[in-house]
């Protein structure tokens, strides 16, 4: 099949959605499909930072076309942009692929996908947004215009059904990870020695952003330290303009923090193996692929009870859930994990079993089936 992915950003731009789209696209090419990606030239949305080059390229058989992103002035702090060149391409192309997969519910992806639908392509959407906070009446109206919709979790699927979306349009297809690299993991000491960590080690991976609750994590560690001793908090991920504030907050709270930037997959696994606990303190989350990676590395997980996270972190079974924006509850959970080895071991065993069922190869197989289904229902 010929399939077009429309996504706001694409690697080398960092991010969980970006990596997921890339891995799916590559695997579809390996299975004999022709995949094209329309994306912007952005490295990051906040602050606005373009990639050094905007040329079209081949990425392991995936044709990637990058278009200049134009920020919307009154929405600059939200990272909203438009890509006029992408829209012109959708209008001017003599023949678009029969299936267009919109990756993300935003102005760039939706506008291009709707133009493709006018050109008789069948359009599918994966929202990649929090199914609770990011799913209102407007989102439901937009999704109703698509020929198919992918729900990442049962929580999201239920939310879509409750909004009145046609059940026949919805397919539950979770994101997945490549399980093979987790079959042989580095030693627990490797990352600790590299970063010179001697005491307890708390890990976060994701955007360095206020919406991710990074400040809540620092406050929580400062509250936990009187009980567990000095603790190093490692932040791995791209800075979205929040790092300076977090460094200042860490100094005031007496918390040692290390900012690694965006780690390569091998170094990230090394960090996850070495940590005492992985924390995702987000205010909103579609699913949380970093949680699966932490689970496969044997890191006990604490996460906020938001969005699609409870589909992975089952409280007291595969991890601990805490309310968002609550440093005291998070501090108590950190202390429980660090001080109760029996609890920690039980959570790790259960979490690994769960994470091993989220294979990206299964994700791709299910998407292939959905593409065929939607395509066969063409008018």
Which tens digits make up the pLDDT trace of 195-218?
999 899 999 999 998 899 999 999
> What is the spatial distance between Cα 378 and Cα 121, in angstroms, rounded to a whole number?
9
pLDDT for 136 equals 85
**Around 165, how many Cα atoms within 13 Å sit in the side-chain half-sphere?**
31
Segments making up each domain of the chain, as ranges: 2-176+359-376, 180-355
* Interval 127-134 mean pLDDT: 91
Q: Is the dihedral of CA 28, 30, 32, 36 positive or negative?
A: positive
pTM value is: 0.94
Fold adopted by 2-176+359-376: Rossmann fold (3.40.50)
In this prediction, residues 339-358 reach a mean pLDDT of: 97
Q: Is 180-355 in the same CATH topology as 2-176+359-376?
A: yes
Residue range 253-281, pLDDT digits in tens: 999 999 999 999 999 999 999 999 999 99
What residues form DSSP beta bridges with 257? 233
Q: Is residue 378 over pLDDT 70?
A: no
pLDDT at 67: 93
DSSP letters spanning 260-327: EES--HHHHHHHHHH-SEEEE--S--SS-HHHHHHHHTT--EEEES-TTGGGT--BTTTBEEE-TT-H
Position 120 pLDDT exceeds 90: no
- Structural domain 180-355, CATH architecture: 3-Layer(aba) Sandwich (3.40)
């Amino acid at each position: 099949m010929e399939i077009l992915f429309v996504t706001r950003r694409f690697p080398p731009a960092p991010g969980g959605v970006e990596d997921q789209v890339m891995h799916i696209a590559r695997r579809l090419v390996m299975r004999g499909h022709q995949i094209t990606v329309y994306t912007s030239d952005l490295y990051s949305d906040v602050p606005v930072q373009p990639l050094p080059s905007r040329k079209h390229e081949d990425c392991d058989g995936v044709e990637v076309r990058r278009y200049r992103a134009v920020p919307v002035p009154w929405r600059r702090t939200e990272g909203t942009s438009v890509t006029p060149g992408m829209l012109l391409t959708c209008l001017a192309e003599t023949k678009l692929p029969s299936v267009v997969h919109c990756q993300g519910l935003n102005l760039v992806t939706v506008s291009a996908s709707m133009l493709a639908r006018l050109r008789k392509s069948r359009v599918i959407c994966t929202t990649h947004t929090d199914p609770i906070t990011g799913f209102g009446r407007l989102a439901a109206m937009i999704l109703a215009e698509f020929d198919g919709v992918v729900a990442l979790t049962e929580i999201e699927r239920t939310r879509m059904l409750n909004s009145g979306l046609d059940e026949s349009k919805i397919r539950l297809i979770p994101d997945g990870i490549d399980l093979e690299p987790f079959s042989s993991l580095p030693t627990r000491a490797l990352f600790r020695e590299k970063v010179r960590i001697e005491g307890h080690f708390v890990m976060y991976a994701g955007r360095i952003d206020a919406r991710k609750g990074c400040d809540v994590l620092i406050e929580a560690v400062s509250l936990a330290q009187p009980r567990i001793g000095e603790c190093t908090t490692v932040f791995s991920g791209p800075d979205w303009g929040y790092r300076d504030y977090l460094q200042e907050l860490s100094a005031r709270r007496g918390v040692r923090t290390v900012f690694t930037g965006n780690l390569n997959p091998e170094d990230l696994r090394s960090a996850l193996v070495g940590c005492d606990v992985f924390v995702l303190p987000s205010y909103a989350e579609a699913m949380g692929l970093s949680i699966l990676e932490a689970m496969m590395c044997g890191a006990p997980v604490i996460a906020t009870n938001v969005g699609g996270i409870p589909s992975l972190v089952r409280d007291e079974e595969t991890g601990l859930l805490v309310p968002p924006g609550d440093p005291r509850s998070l501090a108590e959970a950190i202390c429980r994990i660090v001080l109760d080895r029996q609890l920690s071991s039980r959570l790790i065993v259960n979490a690994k079993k769960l994470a091993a069922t989220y294979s990206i190869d299964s994700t791709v197989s299910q998407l292939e089936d959905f593409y065929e289904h939607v395509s066969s229902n063409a008018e």
